[in-house]
Amino acid sequence: MRKFLLLALLVSTAYTYAALPLVYKGDTLEFDYSWKRSKCGTVSESLGLPEISGIACSRVTPGYIWMESDDYESFIIATTEKGQKSACKLKMSKTIGWDWEDMSGGVYEGKNYLFIGSFGDNEETRKDYRIVWFEEPAIDPVNKPEQTVTPNYIRYKYPDGKSHNNEALMYDNREQMIYIITKVYYNVCQVFKLPFRLDYSTSDTLTLEYVCDLGVRSDLGENSSNKPYMGFHLVTGADISPDGKYILIKNHNNIVAKYSWVLLWKREEGESVAETLTNGTPHPIYCYTYEWQGEAICWLNNDTFYTTSDSDGEPPIYKYTRKWGEGVENVQAQNDNRLVMRDGAIFLRTPNGFYTLDGRKVQ
């Protein structure tokens, strides 16, 4: 009897969350179950970074994560995934942007760069949006706990000539392209792009190229009381895996916590990011749970990514790892998926066969 009660509880747990569908461009998306989530650290107050809004894994010195705060525009911090000590405080030689909202790493002509979006605009009145960039330095906690860099920036505007709020930036190593996503309340967020080059003049204002709409418009019907919450809007962070194969975009909703998501797109060979986002179908990461003011996300590699939040205090750092590894076929939610009990053990039944709850396929 106890086994059957346990099975009923697991089935109820598995489908309670899935029963709260994410509506995306009019479709209810299927969950990606192939990830597990763990708390790997806590951002210590000693780092002096309140309201972390962007993170990026170091490519020059593996094992460290760069963090920026939208409260400060003069430095960033490198720390490990535990988040307790500063390995490098990287100071800007001059302040050339404000309201930093996201960051990303990328490779251009064989060198690693960091990109920071100076583009927060809650009131949508700003006239000067910038992408701050500089070559990523090596991290040496012993000999160089503090370093100074001279940042550059790209000034841009939107093709409609209007002001827009932004909190998400990502860089694609394949295309050498910067992507920016607007943050919109209860409506469509939009994706724009700009090729990266070293020779842009700071006196020029470049016009972004529109890529696609992203998420909800009026997917749930005019009479739905949940309409503002269940669609994908309020985008707060994004990142593209180093090899360009996977795209992560997250949002948050402080009003209804259960409607916050991380979406994963798989990019097909030969596809541009624009084609993937326009035509591809994303999957919500099933194990992701709401983070208060959850804004920051970054890839370590194809099988690992991190999130943290810009909440005050000491927000946790979460690590997401692929249960089966990239080479093993992912288990996606399908209408006929079931948790079943066989020989006293519980398994997940999928169209691809039976899996244990830790991701091993049963022959």
pTM of the model: 0.84
What's 126's domain CATH number? 2.115.10
In a domain, 352, yes or no: no
In a domain, 165, yes or no: yes
In a domain, 8, yes or no: no
Contact assessment for residue 308 and residue 55, using Cβ atoms and an 8 Å cutoff: yes
Residue 252's contacts (CB-CB under 8 Å, 6 or more residues apart) are 234, 236, 260, 290, 291, 293, 294, 295
In a domain, 356, yes or no: no
For each of the chain's 363 residues, which pLDDT tens digit applies? 333 333 333 333 333 333 356 878 878 888 999 999 999 999 999 998 888 999 999 999 999 999 998 877 789 999 999 999 999 999 999 888 888 999 999 999 999 999 999 999 989 999 999 999 999 999 999 999 999 999 999 999 999 999 999 999 999 999 999 999 999 887 889 999 999 999 999 999 999 999 999 987 544 444 555 555 567 888 999 999 999 999 999 998 655 556 789 999 999 999 999 999 999 999 999 999 888 888 999 999 999 999 998 776 789 999 999 987 664 334 333 333 455 655 556 666 665 666 665 556 666
Query: 42 has which bridge partners?
Result: 316
- How many distinct structural domains can be found in the chain? 1
In a domain, 139, yes or no: yes
In a domain, 43, yes or no: yes
Q: Tell me which H or E stretch contains 17.
A: helix 2-18
Distance CA 94, CA 126 (A): 21
In a domain, 347, yes or no: no
* Domain hosting residue 279, numbered range: 36-332
Residue 229's contacts (CB-CB under 8 Å, 6 or more residues apart) are 253, 255, 256, 259
Contact assessment for residue 10 and residue 338, using Cβ atoms and an 8 Å cutoff: no
In a domain, 360, yes or no: no
